[in-house]
Amino acid sequence: MGSPMLRARITSPLTELDRKREQTPVPKEWAYAPAPESRDVVSIEDRYGHFVGGQWLEPSDTYTTISPATEETLAEVGQATPEEVEGAVAAAREAFENGWSGIAPAERAKYLFRIARILQERSREFAVLESLNGGKPIKESRDVDLPLAAAHFFYYAGWADKLEYAFPNRRPRPIGVAGQIIPWNFPLLMLSWKIAPALAAGNTVVLKPAETTPLSALLFADVLRQAELPPGVVNIVTGDGRAGAALVKSEGVDKIAFTGSTEVGKAIQRELAGTGKRLTLELGGKAANIIFDDAALDQAVEGIVNGIYFNQGHVCCAGSRLLVQESIYEPVVEKLKRRLTTLRVGDPLDKNTDVGAINSKQQLDKIRELVEAGEDEGAEIYQPPCRLPEKGYWFVPTVFTNVAQSYRIAQEEIFGPVLSVLTFRTPEEAVEKANNTPYGLSAGVWTEKGSRILWMAERLRAGVVWANTFNRFDPTSPFGGYKESGFGREGGRHGLEPYINFDGSEPSGG
């Protein structure tokens, strides 16, 4: 036991140390110093035309594209007329018939590899431009969009000379000219999803980027120049929905690929009915993120945040409906609300920013309208304390609880940082509620039981089901939906098939 004197000598220094520690002030809050990425790494022209046949053509009309974070004008961009769209289609047709479709597949692969490497080399430049024109945080542009965009070109470069292996006994050949219309939420990534498989299969392309985010595609034209891609293989025309409609109606286009709203997708399908043109549609979603009582809750909360607040909720597969098992409802909501208080909303070019600007005033108005509808219908709203910038388009990350299945916020795609929380008791009820939507693009399941994951995935009517994660993408994995989320797949070997015709309806070896 030791003597009292010895015990005193041993404990005395510790007591003195504790006393000093108590006098040290403990910071009550942490503030992040601004860490802005430099805008100087990217050069934006004052005026852009259309990229057709390897040349820049002066547009007959223009509009302004802005930064949604500051509302400043970034550039004047061409508004394509039907005649200008037809010129781009003609250039794509000429390139297809006079070389590109007949080039050795291994040579096509070389061009795709070049594009992928150049995107990696210029990734910082593209990341800054994506955040400037689109409003998304720079850390997402830098760490998600750019690596994935390059990865898609690398992946499809590998398939270019292996199509006979991808589709055994079916003699694949290119379909011709592909018209591709992409959305504003992932400008460069959606471009890569569309262009890479089309070129790998031997097709030529006319791309129409979104009206509000055209600058990434226009800078990509310089990547094509660096890669020395033959003129006319990829053509880029900019403008609003009128330019997209002209591309859909063009008789020189053999296939349309569209990513965007369900309403526009339906209109395109009606327009193409009976024309014989190929069509793939990747449309809206209202994904369910399902949390079971045996899930790792802290991990699940991070997955919930990533599922709905990533890219300001501007994600077609966003987990905008949270289904929580009743027994863990309170701790999940409490942890989620606490986590929301740590999200940093602000300058998209600041490396500390978690949630950037809403892409446009039109989208912000839609988000506000649906949030007001949720409050009017009786849902309980929670928004963390948050100081928004005075200029630009912003919305506070939002959670709705006490949400009924019939509420608009539980049925309609908000496409913003707004989460609706519902509950369930049994796996059967979770499946029924998750499938109770016109959409069927994605879902998430959180549980430690592998058998339950498989059971749920078999019954969920969703094109993608994530297990203990959310919003993870890979070029080798197909992506697409059911019901009003569209049809066709992008990514993986499946992403090649919409760009390929086959000689004969039956496999030649069968």
Q: Give the span between the Cα atoms of 405 and 408, in whole angstroms.
A: 8
Q: How far is CA 340 from CA 308, 354, 387, 390, 397, in A?
A: 12, 10, 13, 21, 7
Distance of CA 72 to the CA centre of its chain: 24
Helix (H) or strand (E) holding 271: helix 262-272
Of 130, 282, 484, 490, which one is the catalytic site residue?
282
Indicate the SS3 state at residue 426: coil
The sign of the torsion formed by the CA atoms of 84, 89, 91, 92 equals positive
Of 84, 86, 316, 484, which one is the catalytic site residue?
316
Q: Give the span between the Cα atoms of 155 and 166, in whole angstroms.
A: 13
Helix axes 187-200, 215-227, angle to 10 degrees: 40
Indicate the SS3 state at residue 455: helix
Look-up: residue for tokens 């004008």? 73
Burial class from Cβ neighbours inside 10 Å (0-12, 13-18, 19+) for residue 266 reads middle
Q: Give the span between the Cα atoms of 430 and 211, in whole angstroms.
A: 38
Q: Give the span between the Cα atoms of 306 and 283, in whole angstroms.
A: 20
Amino acid found at 109: A
**Which residues neighbour 238 within 8 Å (Cβ) at sequence distance 6 or greater?**
48, 50, 59, 77, 78, 79, 80, 208, 209, 211, 214, 217, 218
Sheet of 73-78, strands arranged across: 47-48, 73-78, 62-66
Pick from 206, 261, 208, 282: nearest CA to 238? 208
Catalytic site residue 413? no
Q: Give the span between the Cα atoms of 207 and 181, in whole angstroms.
A: 6
Tokens of 304: 């919930």
Pick from 283, 260, 349, 353: nearest CA to 312? 353
Catalytic site residue 316? yes
Annotated catalytic sites, by residue?
282, 316
